[in-house]
Structure 1
Amino acid sequence: MRFLPLISLCISLVAGAAVRSPNFKSYDGYKVFRVKTGRQLSHVHDKLSTISFEKWNHDVARHIDILLPPDQVAAFEALGLQSTCMHDNLGASMASESFTSTRWKRQNSNSSWFDSYHSYDEHIEYFEHLHQSFPNQSEWITSGTSYQGRDIYGLHLWGASGPGKPAVLYHGTVHAREWITAPVIEYITTQLINGYKVGDNTTQGFLNSYDFYIFPFVNPDGFVYSQTTERLWRKNRQPGPRNATCFGRDINRNWPFGWSANTRGASTNPCSQTYKGESPSDTPENRGLDAFVRQLRDTVGIKLFIDWHSYGQYLLSPYGFNETLYAPELGKWTATASLVSESIRDSSAARTTFTFGPSGATLYTTTGASIDHVYAVGGADFAYTIELRDTGAFGFVLPPEQILPSGREQWEGQKVLLSLLDEEFFDGKGPAVFVED
């Protein structure tokens, strides 16, 4: 199977470490509150409609995490809602997790890379180093380019007897502000390479059974923007339609399958954080990723797909577009996820717990989402969205001290998941599912 080579790494597009623009949005004095909802959800919504805030999280059935500018804090407190403060000064929290340009030691066995966040250029350099450390069993790949012309780069890894095995496909940094996803993917990639090279039987078994296609940044423009201009930016950087003044589409609401399934799973407002675009795959990032998925489907087949996100600590399977439609494989996916969750909890000093289940029923409705598409159109045997740490104490602004623990616990989870891909947990037949491609 052939993929276009990445020529010159496009370093010139984003040369040097990311530099904050003079217009970098300050969050000094902003506060983040967790507001209890539960049975009072509609009452809470009514009260919150009287103030200006940004919704910070997903799980509105139990609570809403909201971001408040300084001039709205007193008005919020006057509402008398049951709440706890997550960030007393979000600007100070962001300063403590800011990325660094400190040089890291170029040895795969050295974990200093995971001591801090890094610029986009340095992430490219780190992944290229991994490729150079495994030259005969890896290749640099790309699924295309972003709106601003950055390569959506990745690594293809394989084991004995060469490439051509069923695919394990990882996507990260779909949403720009979710900084933790790329280093977790990089940690897993490092463990795969290191383990294989030292003769670890488990790791060699993974690479001898599957080819890994690993993309740490599928939204590079948004990530760079989150480092230079607005830390909480989510979407890509594509201009809005026609005369719209807002920028960006949500790449994870832009996949063709389920794109128009309902009006609750994404937004048609170009200014919304979940704007799905004017038509399916109208982002260059998604078009390239979709073509890559279809090529894998038609050549080697997709055994496992994971779309890495943050935050909330969830292991989510299809479907997201319909909270009452269950795939025939749900029993197998749920049984597998339960064992993965258990392994993460048991391996973590913090006893990190991941909730699992079908995306729409477990968390919220999403239309045009990756796991639905890669399962229904790409034919993946397993498809998960993994929402990484934490459950809200820090949210998107996760301290760098949690990077390495996050990577370690996810590697433990992946070792269990990859070992179970060919196991049979569920022999029953689920409901018929009709897929229109």
Structure 2
Amino acid sequence: MKLLAAVAVLLGPLALATAVPQLEHRVSYDGYRVYRIATHHNAASVKAQLKGFATVPFNLDTDEHLDVAIPPGQISAFESLGLETEVMHEDLGADIAEEGSFAAYRGVEAQAVPSLTWFDSYHSYNDHVQYFNDLQAAFPQNSEIFTIGNSYQGRSIFGIHIWGSGGKGSKPAVYFHGTVHAREWITAKVVEYITYNLLTQYDNDTTVRAVRDSYDFYILPVVNPDGFVYTQTNDRLWRKNRQPRSGSSCVGTDNNRNWPYMWNVSGGASTNPCAETYKGQAAGDTPENQALVAFSQKLRNQGNGIRLYIDWHSYGQYILLPYGYNCQARAANHARQTTLASAVAARIAQPYGTRFTYGPSCSTLYATTGSSVDYMTDVANATYAWTIELRPTGSGGGGFVLPPAQILPSAVEQWEGMKYLLATM
């Protein structure tokens, strides 16, 4: 979810090339070194010093630091600036190659549960589809696969519905999804680990049984399938969907700036089709967002409403509450949400000491307009609507390119937080 604004001094030729629809070769980041630059609340000064560098920005959403990739031919000149930096990737291309060494997924026999080795590596879109099908096939009495629509290029936006003893559709909805932003691969893995535990632990964990019997779960791991596939075939750092726009050679809309609520408010999205946070030509005009909006309305109207919605992103380690469009606005139940977020952050920290910051989205991180959480709060009437930004923070871990060894720990700590939240909210 990190905001990559279209700032001319930071968008070098490589970053601009990723937006051109004719690009069919794989973008190489070999030899690029990624730095976190301390700005000491003077980001403008740092950006001025970066003029002339063909940098690839990882984030531009905080006045405390900038995360940028420097091409190999400019590393020496960059380091001669004497900025205060930490290295996030010594060689971004090498780390992408390591991350992209997918283990084969061969499926399972009928009624068998997939192995936890699924979380040892990242996987293709088709493997994610098969994994959900295999999970559901092992629990056919209490789950079903569903689709909410198709992406611009015609890929299925799929999910799994899980229920407990009350029967299908009888309880308030818990609604999770991941991979809105294509490069945030860890999000699909985290929601899949939550899915795995909700299904497999029902008979031997009293907390899981209680929450399964209290809620209907709707979990969609990859809601931007075109962008996700593109990150694995062409450009690992692609963020948006793959929808072209008339009058522009640039491709893609940020689906988390396209929700039809507070879309016209300025300051939290871009009207430039080449920008990473391009909001679209009209509110809700991407096929992916239209499918999500229709599904959200269905859950709102089905009788029991939406108790909890979480939009999973990376990176930065945040639990973000409403609202994004206004830094002074607060949800009606803000105090309760803050109490829960504090406790969830404490539970997340228990397995490995990972610390999450929590608070309203705009005032805690940055402004967002046309965002999912604001829509879910004020239009879909979710009791709780959060964005969770996953690992990492700081220089450790690698930003969007999270090493495979961190998949399972990231998922485990989120599951600890979710068990508490689901049992307490």
**TM-score in terms of structure 2 length:** 0.90
Equivalent residues in 2 for 1:132-211 (5 A)?
Answer: 132-163=137-168, 164-196=170-202, 198-211=203-216
Structure 2: how far apart are the matches of 1:301 and 1:137?
Answer: 20
Q: Deviations over 1:45-83 (max 9, x none)?
A: 322244332220255221110122223333422332211
Which amino acid in 2 is paired with 1:69?
A: P
Range with greater deviation from structure 2 (70-79 or 290-299): 70-79
Instruction: After TM superposition, give the deviation of residue 34 of structure 1 in Å.
Output: 0.5
Matches within 5 A, 1:28-427: 28-103=30-105, 106=108, 107-108=112-113, 110-163=115-168, 164-196=170-202, 198-240=203-245, 242-262=246-266, 264-299=267-302, 300-348=304-352, 351-391=353-393, 392-393=395-396, 394-421=398-425
Q: Which moved more, 1:251-260 or 1:325-334?
A: 325-334
State the 1:141 CA deviation.
1.0
The answer to whether the 8 A contact 1:108-1:130 is kept is yes
The 1-side partners of 2:227 and 2:221 are apart by 13
CA 1:333 to 1:129, structure 2 compared with 1: closer, same or farther past 3 Å? same
Which amino acid is the alignment partner of residue 214 of structure 2?
A: S
Residue type at the aligned position of 1:225: Y
Give the C-alpha shift of residue 105 in structure 1.
6.5
CA distance in 1, matches of 2:261, 2:24: 40
CA contact (8 A) 2:107 2:131 kept: no
2:277 and 2:101 map into 1 onto residues whose CA distance is: 26
Confirm or deny: 8 A CA contact 2:53 2:70 kept in the other structure. no
1:42 is displaced (CA, Å) by 2.6
Give the SS at the match of 1:136.
coil
Percent of residue pairs bearing the same amino acid type:
52
* Distance of aligned partners of 1:194 and 1:152 in 2 relative to their CA distance in 1, 3 Å threshold: same
Map of 1:10 onto structure 2: none
AA partner of residue 279 (structure 1): A
Deviation (angstroms), 1:39: 2.9
RMSD: 1.5
Q: How many equivalent pairs are there?
A: 396
Unaligned runs of 5+ residues in structure 1 are 1-20, 422-437
Letter matched to residue 285 of structure 2: D
SS state at 2:201 partner: helix
Once the 2 structures are TM-superposed, how far is the Cα of residue 325 of structure 1 from its aligned partner? 1.6
Return the letter of the residue paired with 1:177: R
Q: What is the CA-CA distance between 1:279 and the residue it aligns to?
A: 0.6
Q: Which residue of 2 aligns with 1:432?
A: none
Q: Which amino acid in 2 is paired with 1:112?
A: T
Secondary structure in structure 2 of the residue aligned to 1:56:
strand
CA distance in 2, matches of 1:42, 1:126: 46
Structure 1 residue 243 displacement after superposition: 2.4
- Which amino acid letter does the alignment assign opposite residue 286 of structure 1? N
In structure 1, how many angstroms separate the alpha carbons of the residues matched to 2:295 and 2:105?
33
Partner SS, residue 192 of structure 1? helix
Query: Structure 1 length as normaliser, TM-score?
Result: 0.88
Question: Residue 279 of structure 2 aligns to a residue in which SS?
Answer: coil
Q: Please state how far the C-alpha of 1:200 moved relative to its aligned partner.
A: 2.1
- C-alpha contact (below 8 Å) 2:142/2:163 kept by paired residues: yes
Taking the aligned partners of 2:404 and 2:349, their CA distance within structure 1 comes to 20
Contact 2:179 2:222 in 1 (8 A): yes
Whether the 8 Å CA contact 2:61–2:366 is kept in 1: the answer is yes
Alpha-carbon separation, structure 1, partners of 2:241 and 2:312: 16
